[in-house]
Structure 1
């Protein structure tokens, strides 16, 4: 495999050739910019060294991306596609230097097709902009990651981001109908179309979702839209402890007879931390755990009946208080608490790792108990929040003050992952593997499947120049 990781450096001549193709204003070798764009939300300090790109490019069109990839292919230069940098797996880390390709200038909403209920966008569009554009036409884009106010749709697709509404609508991949992609040699192709059914050939559209930029570069996406529900309401249910909160989640469906749009969870430590971060009280801030339950519908009276029924049901199952948010300001207050947790963690801790664990929904209580048992012996603490409705828990392991942080963390992770597997769980639900988690893939996938991933990668990219070093460990 040695030849697969042998790359050439970017010479002054190569840089100049790229400038001629895409414009000098779209190319940078500024050291501060290179460092700033050479990572995502995972601190480079996690790796004991910095990985810095040699060249930063800002394509403005598919043609620009194609020209860059042709040069990179001919010169054997690694290319790392980058969205908004909100990723949590070091997916934007240029492990072998080369080119970082940022998509902030490819930020156009190309078309909203009301007849076919689709929206076509470039990869640098901020996800929340897609939602806002759709809502102005009384339509819904159902992809809703908590980072939606900052993340780019291209990054959402690359990681198959989930977010708040997976329980009802599915992850980003479920919203995809078609993609324009530039392959490693610079050729341009379309996968899929506006069709709702298509078995002509292989389903490359959904292979691309979650492929983390190792197969091709996404330059356009056609996303499906839905009618916008006329009314919605958010309930914040305060429980005495995490177990009673999590145990209530399946009751919403089995006893309440409803599929909510969202069911979000915050433990007591997350609630207290976000209050400190916001410097303000939050609803249910003194709870042992809290659930945000979002319901939506077109019949206002029927929706009122439903949220009253779910509120009473939650109280029968241990909730001691239920807050109802049915105005814009009250909804924002509830969601500000949930969306503020990741920022609060980054603000108050320097030694932490954000895990993205997934188990079958019925196993979430067992997961939370397991985390306590496997972190405390190493002097570590944990804070949990996340998507209770689909079993995806964001567990952040922190070490406020301790020596040998990495040793303690790795020891705890190996024990956590071993027990996670026995629960039918897996390593990541939406944040991706990237460079951060690639060494742990061997615990979750057998050799045959890892080898298959490598073969698919090389079928798309024989020279291994697209985001190399990610997803699986090649021994490099």
Structure 2
């Protein structure tokens, strides 16, 4: 697709819509919008202009202008993505939603929160908790990621094993379509099968079909009792093979995470704090919640026994907030900690059936040995989502790109042979679009292309993402 350039006249039109302070053209200000959290410079591109709307009407006017002038639009949230999904690879406009950051309503009677896309996930969680409620979406980047970005990628997170990914909590969306029309589907009705399920078509569409400007989030009562277990194992296979046993013990954990030895060491370095059994081969981290203290205690004792019967070195139980936070810091700092091992890396997001996690981790270890590289892994054991990160270390550019291409090609092949897929929660973005094109059937791709063509005939919405 050949797009037009942003002219001085277009910049003046944008300033008339938004005000001068909400239109950025200075190079030093544009730079921070040229990348997301992907560390490789291959996935960086400067926008021609950044616009910061403050309401849906302004978003609509921006999109109408871009549609008229054939300008590419890259919607952007907090910039915490890991798939180059918010990088303006075709130039044009970055539409930053950072100023649309209001919590519009907390409905404690119907258990809904209505928010704009620029609210951080952490703020949503805190606001719900202050009302004795739970918003169960819980990505590790909650303090910095925007809820709009969670919607765009259908983010998962730590609590997905029990409460599901973002799509389970989205009941309504207001969206500016690629022609500038403002549409709303869904809302506070718990059941709604009126027409096509537009809401869940938009969730996970990564800004390629429209701009989400308002979100109806489902809340639930806050669990009264929570306990966390930190369970070290001598090696990764012993740890991961206990996961199906936990999942079939008659208990649904809130969270069920794993970390390998490299991830544990990296977390220890990053936190500058000695972790329990930091020389272990792996951790399993498990959270249980419920309405009864007795029930929670019974559940963690059952899970603890399953772990001890299957090779656990120890079972640490944290049943107060302070100790729970210490346990979770080691897991939630994974992305930041990996940078201490290698500032440049390639973090993958593959997903396989839970029963095939041991085989997937064996394949990752085998690939790492074959190419003499390090691939620390951690992730969401309860739903089969593995974050395997290829480290560049001291390789030059040519060596690094050659290594990365070979490792990813083999990794994806192994994952698909195990019944898995490319991404569990980070999305496809630009980074994995070529791989998706290779591994999907032509019939599947034609369905997706037809949807894109129907809703965005000029191809202005986040071009180069998801579909190549």
Using the size of structure 2 for normalisation, the TM-score is 0.98
| C-alpha displacement of 1:341 | 1.5
1:360 aligns with 2:353: yes
Output aligned runs, 1:230-379, within 5 Å: 230-255=224-249, 257-379=250-372
**In 1, are the aligned partners of 2:154 and 2:204 still within 8 Å (CA)?**
yes
C-alpha distance after superposition, 1:260-314 (max 9, x if no partner): 0000100011001111111111233221101110000111122122212221221
1:471 aligns with 2:461: no
C-alpha distance after superposition, 1:176-197 (max 9, x if no partner): 0000000111110001121111
Aligned counterparts of 1:283 and 1:219: Cα–Cα separation in 2: 44
5+ unaligned residues in a row in structure 2: which ranges?
Answer: none
| C-alpha displacement of 1:350 | 2.9
1:26 aligns with 2:46: no
SS in 1 for 2:283: strand
1:427 aligns with 2:422: yes
Look up the match of 1:439.
434
SS in 2 for 1:469: coil
| Structure 2 residue corresponding to 1:453, chosen from 445, 448, 456 | 448
Look up the match of 2:8.
12
Using the size of structure 1 for normalisation, the TM-score is 0.96
5+ unaligned residues in a row in structure 1: which ranges?
Answer: none
Q: Tell me which moved more, 27-36 or 342-351.
A: 342-351
Look up the match of 1:131.
125
C-alpha distance after superposition, 1:204-241 (max 9, x if no partner): 10011110000010000001011110110100011111
| C-alpha displacement of 1:418 | 1.3
Aligned counterparts of 1:335 and 1:239: Cα–Cα separation in 2: 17
Aligned counterparts of 2:73 and 2:39: Cα–Cα separation in 1: 20
Aligned counterparts of 1:285 and 1:159: Cα–Cα separation in 2: 33
Look up the match of 1:109.
103
Aligned counterparts of 1:444 and 1:272: Cα–Cα separation in 2: 34
Aligned counterparts of 1:198 and 1:351: Cα–Cα separation in 2: 45
Output aligned runs, 1:90-239, within 5 Å: 90-239=84-233
| Structure 2 residue corresponding to 1:76, chosen from 53, 70, 76 | 70
Output aligned runs, 1:31-46, within 5 Å: 31-43=27-39, 45-46=41-42
| C-alpha displacement of 1:44 | 5.1
- Name the CA shift for 1:84/1:116 in 2 (closer, same or farther; >3 Å): same
**In 2, are the aligned partners of 1:379 and 1:399 still within 8 Å (CA)?**
no
**In 1, are the aligned partners of 2:40 and 2:344 still within 8 Å (CA)?**
no
SS in 2 for 1:89: coil
| C-alpha displacement of 1:452 | 1.7
C-alpha distance after superposition, 1:424-472 (max 9, x if no partner): 0111100011111111013321111112211111111111001001102
Aligned counterparts of 1:442 and 1:6: Cα–Cα separation in 2: 21
SS in 2 for 1:397: strand
1:51 aligns with 2:57: no
C-alpha distance after superposition, 1:290-349 (max 9, x if no partner): 111000011112212221222122111111111111111101100110011110112331
| C-alpha displacement of 1:43 | 3.0
Aligned counterparts of 2:288 and 2:142: Cα–Cα separation in 1: 20
Aligned counterparts of 1:194 and 1:203: Cα–Cα separation in 2: 15
Aligned counterparts of 2:187 and 2:271: Cα–Cα separation in 1: 44
1:407 aligns with 2:402: yes
| C-alpha displacement of 1:399 | 3.0
Count of aligned pairs: 466
SS in 2 for 1:294: strand
Aligned counterparts of 2:371 and 2:285: Cα–Cα separation in 1: 32
**In 1, are the aligned partners of 2:269 and 2:340 still within 8 Å (CA)?**
no
Aligned counterparts of 1:286 and 1:169: Cα–Cα separation in 2: 32
